[in-house]
Amino acid sequence: MTVLPRPAGPEADHGAFDDAQGLRKVIHVDMDAFYASVEQRDDPSLKGLPVAVGGAAGRGVVAAASYEARVFGVRSAMPGGRARALCPDLVFRPPRFEVYRAVSQQIRAIFLDYTPDVEPLSLDEAYLDVTRDLRGIGSATRIAELIRQRIRHDTGLTASAGVSYNKFLAKLASDQNKPDGLCVIRPGEGAAFVARLPVARFHGVGPRGAERMKALGIVTGADLRRLDLATLRAHFGAQADYLYRAARGIDLRAVRADRPRKSVGAERTFERDLSTGPVLRETLETIIDLAWERIARADVRGRTVTLKLRLSDFQAMSRARSSPAPIADRATFAALARELLDGLLPLPQPIRLMGLILSALDEPGAPETAAPEGQGQLPF
């Protein structure tokens, strides 16, 4: 477990916990290589082997990779053929989403033993606001430790957790000591913690965003903090306010048990523009795999499929089609996606981006109302 040393003096760190202000105690729990770990648990012969969940042949895509596979550079969303080239001994297993969903429900039940304020992000991660101490434990850090112990005991799997005073910092902390780790960022420590992190670690800053920042001399949180809001808005538009706050360890979002999810999907920007029908159809199959894996991980059903394209001149195109019933299987989702693309061909220009989105969602596991805000405070 990592607990950062307490700062020697006052720190300009807005959003830090203070008893009088009533700020929150937040835990972010993230299962370690969830799909692959379930496969290794259920088949002991896979223990210690590089495992990928997904497709190995043709247009197959890696949905998850064990830590043994990640050593070789295998990552989720990677084409199966590329993963096999990086790791010839890689063992592929087909996804078993019904099993992952059942394990996720076990884990969620553990969370609810400690707080009603649980905001699931997917089958394998969630935010917990543990400001209310349902069991009288007295420490958010101890609650995180107990949750991780319960998960290991009840499921045979490991989880990493981050404890802090807002969602942004808790998520950064949960990634700090993976796998099977715990990190605590105490009140007053957030700005210093963020300052030394690469901006590529910030949620919402992808590889292309990190490259744009690097070109501006922004590599770490400290570099980002040196820029004023006007400069950030000039370069990053709508994302500027988020970046300004993130560089200071500020996040005002509440943990919401009833957080409405509007859509789930995936998109990819290509190194070279694509134009011919066969290439576009082949690419669509990859996007279907990526999008459906995220839909299954989020455990949602929806009625509307949208195909999103960005042309070589950056003009956006999109087409959508709705189903009278919630889309519950990949085959239906894929068929609608293919119809949407066929209806646009031939395209007026090559494209540089393709994406698929499922919206008009039903979330069968989501509670209808949020738990009321608690009054009691817990020390870290």
Annotated active-site positions, please? 125
Which single residue is written with the structure tokens 């059942």? 102
What CA–CA distances, in Å, run from 333 to 94, 161, 166, 317, 336? 19, 34, 36, 19, 5
Does 346 sit behind a cis peptide bond, omega within 30 degrees of 0 on the bond before it?
yes
DSSP 50: -
What CA–CA distances, in Å, run from 23 to 131, 250, 379? 9, 12, 11
Q: Across 153-236, where does the E strand assignment appear? A: 159-164, 182-184
Contact 202, 212 (CB under 8 A): no
DSSP 345: P
Q: Across the chain, where does the E strand assignment appear? A: 2-3, 26-31, 51-54, 62-65, 91-93, 118-122, 125-129, 159-164, 182-184, 263-274, 301-311, 316-327, 351-362
Q: How many Cα atoms sit within 13 Å of 130 on the Cβ side?
A: 33
What CA–CA distances, in Å, run from 365 to 119, 123, 149, 371? 11, 11, 24, 15
CA distance 279 to 275: 7
Interior CA angle at 240 toward 238 and 246, to 5°?
130
Query: Is 299 labelled as part of a ligand binding site?
Result: no
Nearest to 302 by CA among 328, 341, 330: 328
What's at 121, amino acid-wise? L
Query: Is 30 labelled as part of a ligand binding site?
Result: yes
Binding positions for Mg(2+): 30, 124
